[in-house]
Amino acid sequence: MPEDVLINLSRHKSDPTLNGPVLFFVNPGETGIVIREAEQRNARRHFLFHSNLFEIPSKKPVYWVGPALGAPMAVMTLEKLIALGAKEIIVYGWCGSLVKSLKTGDLFLPNWAISEEGTSVHYPVHERPESNGSLRNALKRNLKKQYTVREGPIWTTDAPYRETREKVKKYVAQGVMAVDMEFSALCTVAAFRNINLAAVMLVSDELWDINWRPGFQNKPFKKLSRDVFLEISQLLES
């Protein structure tokens, strides 16, 4: 028997129909860069909640959307994208490293997640949150030609200011390599809605040492983040 859900998203007459892959960036700090790049490409701009949705002119349909920080906002955005027809989503964001071998500036492709966020529990999916293996492998194969790429489990949390040393030790003991704020919820919704989703994350800070090591504040990191975003977009466009 279908669930008696009160609110169902749908496509309105003024909404675009998404018939190609979507590059979904979550970090608000990258909004200005993405908008400038989209304007240079003469992209058509739409608004989606607090996010921007761009139709990117290319050989085949490609879309950029964001920002949407944190699991609740990211899931609201994802649900609307699915309602507009999206079936393949690449999430681009930043993550914190929990292990010494994962350095600031490396690329991390999470394969499965431990959820410490409150959104995914509302979706009746019983498997652990996992990204789509085919999408993830294709990204890894192409990105490792230019970047240091690692793959492994991630911890998703709603409370970045409650990332304690005890939690880091506990999750590292379970093989977890990084931490973020959206991945587990996005994977859960992707499984529930039967669409393909994978993520590429740029390591922005390191939490494995006694002291926190932020690396996202300098200009080289910001340039690297822009370059990675555009590289992923180019892969989707080709």
Q: What is the pLDDT of residue 1?
A: 47
Q: 232 pLDDT band (50/70/90 cuts)?
A: very high
What does pLDDT average to over the chain?
Answer: 95
Q: For the chain, how many structural domains are there in total? A: 1
CA distances, 5 to each of 9, 122, 123 (Å): 11, 12, 12
CA distances, 184 to each of 45, 93, 94, 164 (Å): 28, 13, 14, 19
Q: Domain for residue 14, yes or no?
A: no
CATH code at position 93? 3.40.50.1580
67-119, pLDDT tens digit by residue?
999 999 999 999 999 999 999 999 999 999 999 999 999 999 999 999 999 99
171-215, pLDDT tens digit by residue?
999 999 999 999 999 999 999 999 999 999 999 999 998 888 988
Domain membership of residue 73 as a residue range: 22-237
Q: Domain for residue 222, yes or no?
A: yes
Task: Report the chain's terminal Cα–Cα distance, integer Å.
Answer: 42
Q: Domain for residue 2, yes or no?
A: no
